[in-house]
Amino acid sequence: MFKKVLIVTVLLISFASSASANTLYEVKKGDTLSKIAKLNKVTINDIRSWNKLTKDSVYIKQKLVVKKPAVATKTPAKVVTTKPVVVTSASKQETVVTPVQVKDAQLITAPFQEQEKSLSGKGQAMYPLIVDFAKRLEGIPYVYGGYTMSGFDCSGFIYFLHTQAGLDITRQSSESYFAQTSVVSIPVVGDLVFFQNTYKQGISHMGIYIGDNKFIHAGSKGVEVTSLDSSYWKEHFVSFNRFNALTVK
């Protein structure tokens, strides 16, 4: 079983890397939206749609999605076989737990452990693609309420990544996303991480766990990778969570 899981995981990671590598384009001096569209053999409307652009102006080093994002239907099915368990109570959702560092073996086997909340197979199968794509967006500026390649806030970043992967998710606040998830004791790369009492009381920030006790998020300095060992994030850490269900659009 372990060998089979490892093979499926490797296939997913390989697919994610090749897909993301061909998806992003960094704007250079002299580029225009029409020039970029022609270069990548797509339409201006495609670029507008994929990047949720409201205007045609671009700036140097801006990152744009220039290929139709891969969707979950292209990923091998039946990756997750866990059975649903009872959702943790609301009172437990606010319990602060210590961040854990996940070992390689756990990253492969954790989705199959029955004590964790089940996620739709197609949803969690897209974790490698989501994480790989997220890393390629480092440096995009922070914009309050933003959910486009021009800028993100924390929940907008989560929304953008999941919709680009073809998953059915609506634009909501980090607090609302927290309410739609369940706490997991052993996180896997791609799970969510939540924080409280940052700029407001209660759940106020979120990101994506990427392993080695680190997470990627849209912080005040833009999209960046941050360590959970940081004193600030340790103080505000709440829990690792997983969406109760994600489906393909």
The catalytic site residues sit at: 154, 205, 217
Question: What count of other Cβ atoms lies within 10 Å of the Cβ of residue 248?
Answer: 15
Q: In the block, which residue shows the tokens 């270069």?
A: 39
Decide: 87 and 117 in contact? Cβ < 8 Å: yes
Strand partners, 243: 181
Backbone angles phi, psi at 178, to 5 degrees: -60, -40
Go through 28-37 and write b for each residue having 16 or more CB atoms within 10 A of its CB, e for each that does not.
Answer: eeebebeebb
Residue 147, φ and ψ in degrees, nearest 5: -145, 30
* Region for 63 from its dihedrals, namely left if φ exceeds 0, alpha if ψ lies in -120 to 50, beta otherwise: beta
Q: Are 36 and 47 in contact (CB under 8 A)?
A: yes
Residue 69: Cβ-neighbour burial (10 angstroms; 0-12, 13-18, 19+): middle
